[in-house]
Structure 1
Amino acid sequence: MTTPDELELISVNKSFGGWLKRYKHRSKTLGCEMVFAIFLPPAAEERDVPLLWWLSGLTCTDENFTQKAGAQRVAAELGLAFVCPDTSPRGTDLPGEHDSYDFGSGAGFYLNAEQAPWNKHYRMYDYVTEELPALVREHFPLNGREAISGHSMGGHGALICALKNPGRYTSVSAFAPIANPTQCPWGEKALGGYLGDDRESWKAWDACELIAAGARVDEIKVDQGDADNFYQDGQLRPEALEAACQDAGIDLTLQMRPGYDHSYFFIASFIDDHLRYHAHHLRSA
């Protein structure tokens, strides 16, 4: 496959018979250069394949999942492609952008910022639901069926993307998602900084609030480690998501995993379950 003019191939590695490729492109949505990774299973050389979106968490890039989760083996077996976007705009160098790990660089929270100066570049929701999907659909052998998953801030992203786009994704799952960001310190800092002081506007980017307002998906799969210090500190609030889903009649499978923390050791332990879960729904779509 030749590289399109609008994509710059950064690296390519063969993995379990498939190909892991990293590309750079100019994002019109974000106004900067962005990098994403795509894994194409061996089946993609013969036919169009389904796609899983993976959204990573705070401080991460497109590389964390591909290097640490161990997803390529089962994705190759299942004939499943996956795409890993970056977690924020890069190279914009806004005032204070690099001052903390939980706001600005590496912490885009998959929303569209409304406050200056962030609103010029920090439009990660539009990037991961519109611009990047259009780009990968145009240039790679994908069959149009898509699922979505993510970790922590990316788990929050996966949940809101699915809830705000009913029918777009065949399935949604998350590892240790920030499930109720309007009610936790991480979320209050990010939502306040990107959106301003009007807490009502924050609800459009909170999975629990979206469900309370009528947003629906058929089912959600979540894994949460009980030794996760961010869970213990109240940053993740899976119990709020459980209550919201129960009230709305959404089938939530919330599995508490004894002894597991917030790291990629946790994700690598259960990623096969999530890949098979999504592959089942993608085949049934």
Structure 2
Amino acid sequence: MTLERIEHRACFGGWQDVYEHASDTLGCTMRFAVYLPPQAATPGATLPVLYWLSGLTCTEQNFITKAGAQRYAAEHGVVVVAPDTSPRGDEVPDADGYDLGKGAGFYLNATQAPWSTHYRMHDYVVDELPALVESAFAVDDRRAISGHSMGGHGALVLALRNPGRYRSVSAFAPIVAPSQVPWGEKAFTAYLGDDREAWRAWDACALVAGAAERLPLLVDQGEGDEFVDSQLRPGLLQAACAEAGHPLTLRLQPGYDHSYYFMASFLGEHMAHHARALQA
């Protein structure tokens, strides 16, 4: 598969790049960002990878320009890969509003027309993208996953659905129970249809009950987040994990909202959490 590098910027002793490629899984051209820390230049070295999943309306750009992750990635010797949040292109179906269609892939495999042809972000993030990254860069199969909001939902669900695939998982302000909140109900109805039982396969609160792996979940949630009660509802995840005996560290941060100011404040702690797991 051919990669075209379209951005190349020096950053904290390494390189912040953006690549473009034709995705067989999504049937369109996709972009992803990759930060290669200075350790990647060491001859013969292979590094672990953190996959970052962004939220509604985002592209690969939001995280790499706002979060300050490169500093911590360089400190710990971790490659950071940030894909786009949905398929893109004129041939890809879209919808009115910010919470469905382009920029709102929800990291699932759609089953309903017209979405099912292109909206297969689960398979793209879990299978196609890592295969591409692991063949093109000096990395190995030590993987971690994290994300924000819709991307936090994606990180939790992808880790829970794919035991053994990731060594660690964390999330900022995730949509923990999309089956029970307006953002998720709108997206799941369109992408998956009206059968709510089918939605459970993409809902972190439902998945923890039958999780085959007890991978600890690290979640930070701002108490001043304008979406905390209507769309995010972290208490539902806390209750589901308590009932299932699934390890969860839920940290409610007073005063913090839904923005990248919140994420940047605690990202260093998340990167250290992942680095410990990746280098164990």
Per the shorter chain, which TM-score range? over 0.9
Scaled by the length of structure 2, what TM-score is found? 0.97
Pair 1:69–1:123, CA change in 2 (3 A):
same
Q: Distance in 1 between matches of 2:102 and 2:186?
A: 14
> Residue 51 in 1 paired to residue 49 in 2?
yes
Q: How far has the Cα of 1:218 moved from its partner? A: 2.7
* 1:32–1:92 Cα contact (<8 Å) kept: no
Return the TM-score normalized by structure 1.
0.95
The equivalent position to 2:106 in structure 1, one of 109, 128, 131, is 109
Instruction: Say whether the 8 Å CA contact 2:52–2:83 is kept in structure 1.
Output: yes
Task: Identify which of 231, 236, 246 aligns with 1:235.
Answer: 231
- Local SS of the residue matching 1:120: coil
Identity of aligned residues (%): 61
1:271 to 264, 267, 270: 267
Distance 1:135 1:213 in 2: 30
- Counterpart in 2 of 1:245? 241
Offset at residue 98 of structure 1 (A): 4.1
- Matched with 2:66 is 68
Query: CA offsets, 1:119-163, max 9 Å, x none?
Result: 000000000001111000000000210100000000000001100
How big is the shift at 1:215? 4.4
Q: 1:238: how far off?
A: 0.8
Could you say if the C-alpha distance between residues 44 and 93 of structure 1 is closer, same or farther in structure 2, counting changes exceeding 3 Å? same
Alignment of 1:208-227 (within 5 A): 208-227=205-224
Cα RMSD between the aligned structures? 1.1
- CA apart distance, 1:214: 3.8
Partner of 1:10: 6
Which residue type is aligned with residue 17 of structure 1? Answer: G
Residue segments in structure 2 that go unaligned for 5+ positions in a row:
none
Task: Give the aligned partner of residue 173 of structure 2.
Answer: 176
How many equivalent residue pairs? 278
| Conserved 8 A contact 2:160-2:211 | no
1:49–1:208 Cα change, 3 Å: same
Cα distance change on mapping 1:148 and 1:230 into 2, 3 Å: same
Give the corresponding residue for 2:188: 191
Match of 1:140 in 2: 137
Counterparts of 1:20 and 1:237 in 2: how far apart (Å)?
Answer: 34
Matched residues in 1 for 2:258 and 2:90: separation? 29
